[in-house]
Every structure is written in C-alpha cells, then in structure tokens.
Amino acid sequence: MADRFPNFEALAAAMKEGVDYRIRSKDCGTSVVILAPHGGTIEPATSEIAEAIAGADFSFYCFEALKTGAHGDFHITSHRFDEPRAVDLIGRAFTAVAVHGRKDDGSDTVWLGGRAVALRDAIGASLCNAGFEAQPNTTLPGLHETNICNRTGSGAGVQLELPRTLRHKLTKNGNDLKKFCTAIRNVLEK
C-alpha cells in the first residue's frame, strides 16, 4: 500500500499531534539511538520492543499512530521519514537501530538491513546464538542513505524487520523479550 503522505511536514499539516499521533523520545546522549518510526497502530508492538531494547541506557525515539486505519495512513517510508526530532536525535548519534514490523511469511526470522554491515551481522549472530532466527534482508535492505536508521553521524545504522508473529510473541512473553533485547544490547554495549 502506498503512503498517504510523502513526508512528515505533509502528515503534520493534516493530522494533530496528541490526537492522531504522538512522538516519544529520550535523549541519553548515547552514541546509539533505538527507534521505532512506525509505532503504535502502524506496525504494532515495534514501539514496545524498541523501548525495551533501549532500556534506561540508550537514547530512544518512537513515532506512534494513535488511530487505526490503513497501513499507509500514518506510514512514511523509511527513506522519506524526516520528522525533525528524529532527524536531530539520530543525527547526533554514531549509529541507530530501527525496529520495524513486516508481514508474516511462515517464519519468525528477523530480517537484518541497514548500512552498518558489521553491526548488522554482529546483531544477527547474537540473535541466532540466543535462539532466534535472523538473516540479511534482501527484500527491505534499508540501504538508502536517507533511511532514518542511516541518518547518523556515521551515515550507517541497522534496520530490523520483525514478522507480526514474533512481535506478538515478544510482547506477550517477558522472558523472550528479555532474551531478544539482551542479544542486541550485548552487541551495542561492546
């Protein structure tokens, strides 16, 4: 489905913050930002998972649709996602990890993308060691230089695409969520 809005300025002109959408962020001054640019009703559970990964230690950003509707009503494609607070926070970090949702395909595999290839691969290996399935993303690779995860000081970040079943499992099972977050945080803390 095509996005209704080409950028954040168009979305903000038609929608009301606090009613239609909200933005949550926490600047810890860290070199890593964990984000969910399609939170709330856009890609359910991505906000909760990103916030759990960030914990109290990493900077965090989340754009959340508060109203239900078609996927494209509040979705702004990652390489056009230009909400000013996100661009500012992520631009001051060395790297970012973006949590996204994708359709189910019969597996719980995390698709890994982004321009930070070494970090992407290390997160993938850590997730696999923790019992999760992960593989490089050839469908939604997140390589565009203006992808929100790549708008960092290094020009690179990581994009995680989680199927709906895995997102549901993580948000319903605290032990699985903790294991998932720990696998990612162990890499980021090095």
Distance CA 164, CA 142 (A): 19
- CB count, 10 Å around CB of 71? 17
**Beta strand 59-65 pairing with 21-26:** antiparallel
pLDDT at residue 72, as a whole number? 73
Domains identified in the chain and CATH numbers: 8-188 (3.40.630.100)
pLDDT digits (tens, 9 = 90+) for 63-98: 999 988 766 789 999 999 999 999 999 999 999 999
pLDDT digits (tens, 9 = 90+) for 14-61: 999 999 999 999 999 999 999 999 999 999 999 999 999 999 999 999
pLDDT greater than 80 at residue 185: yes
pLDDT at residue 1, as a whole number? 59
Residues 53, 99: contact at Cβ < 8 Å? yes
pLDDT greater than 90 at residue 140: no
pLDDT at residue 69, as a whole number? 74
pLDDT digits (tens, 9 = 90+) for 112-122: 999 999 999 99
- Hey, which residues does 26 pair with through a beta bridge? 60
Instruction: Say what the pTM is.
Output: 0.96
Distance CA 73, CA 18 (A): 16
Distance CA 98, CA 80 (A): 14
* Percent of the chain clearing pLDDT 90 (strictly above): 94
- 78 secondary structure, DSSP code: G
From start to end of the chain, where are the E strands? 21-26, 32-40, 59-65, 95-102, 110-113, 134-136, 158-163
Residue 87 dihedral angles phi and psi, to the nearest 5°: -60, -40
